[in-house]
Amino acid sequence: MINVANLKKRTTADIAKRIVQDIPDGAHVNLGIGQPMTISNYLPPDREILLHSENGLLGMGPLATGDQIDHEIVNAGKQPVTMLPGASIFHHADSFAMIRGGHIDICVLGAFQVSVNGDIANWRTADPSAIPAVGGAMDLALGAKKLFVMMEHLTKSGESKLVSKCTYPLTALAAVDCIYTDLATIAVTENGLEAIDWVEGLSFADLCKISGVPMTERKK
């Protein structure tokens, strides 16, 4: 099997840009804490994509830098952000009414594990020292019309985050639509996982071996 260390993996920026390709104009998109929040930096200016933050902001722009920083204007991860023209600020309860009411088109979350049928575990591992923090992930995973996952393909110990069955506490069942990693883009379909694209130098056969779960190749 190929040595993953020799591959040119996608950077966080690469993954973010790949996700943006699959977001249609006019979409209302929520970005989860962690890697997904970087997506706000890579939205083309000619695209109309409305970013929603669960703490009560619609029309969020890129992460703030320098003189743009206002510590009263932050995303759900408490990072200072900018606001695009026409942006609005509202109560936390109204924000969750948008989420639970099915008004968010796409949510992008990080994950510890995703199963072949789209179950997601993203709020707690087996580490007893870690503080469990589900936040609004359960609401977002079930309330958004589509759920994208942005994550590294393997754990630090080299284990695949794609699994037959999640062993960590679940966030939601059969909720994930597409998985974007540093090695590949993989759709979750009614027939199982379907590889859409993967990094140069990696064959489909090796992708399957690295992932440790069955998947098919999308016909081009």
In a domain, 199, yes or no: yes
CATH code of 135's domain: 3.40.1080.10
pLDDT at 84 over 90: yes
Binning pLDDT at 50, 70 and 90, where does residue 105 land? very high
pLDDT at 42 over 80: yes
Q: In this structure, are strands 184-189 and 192-198 parallel, antiparallel, or unpaired?
A: antiparallel
In a domain, 28, yes or no: yes
CB proximity list for 46: less than 8 A, separation 6 or greater: none
19-23, 128-132, 196-200: which range is least confident on average? 128-132
Report, as an integer, the average pLDDT of 75-82: 95
In this predicted structure, what is the pLDDT of residue 219? 85
In this predicted structure, what is the pLDDT of residue 21? 97
In a domain, 45, yes or no: no
pLDDT for 181-191, tens place per residue? Answer: 999 999 999 99
In a domain, 178, yes or no: yes
Assigned token pair, 154: 């393997």
Angle of CA points 182, 7, 1, to nearest 5°: 105
In a domain, 168, yes or no: yes
Could you tell me the residue range of the domain that residue 145 belongs to? 4-37+103-217
- Residues 112, 40: Cα–Cα separation, whole Å: 22
For residue 39, give the DSSP letter: G
In a domain, 155, yes or no: yes
pLDDT at 8 over 90: yes
Report, as an integer, the average pLDDT of 134-146: 92
Q: How many domains does the chain have?
A: 1
In a domain, 82, yes or no: no
In a domain, 186, yes or no: yes
In this predicted structure, what is the pLDDT of residue 32? 93
In this predicted structure, what is the pLDDT of residue 1? 65
Q: Reduced to 3 states, what is the DSSP secondary structure of residue 92?
A: helix
Catalytic residue flag (residue 54): yes
Query: Which residue in 48, 54, 72, 194 is the catalytic one?
Result: 54
Report, as an integer, the average pLDDT of 36-44: 96
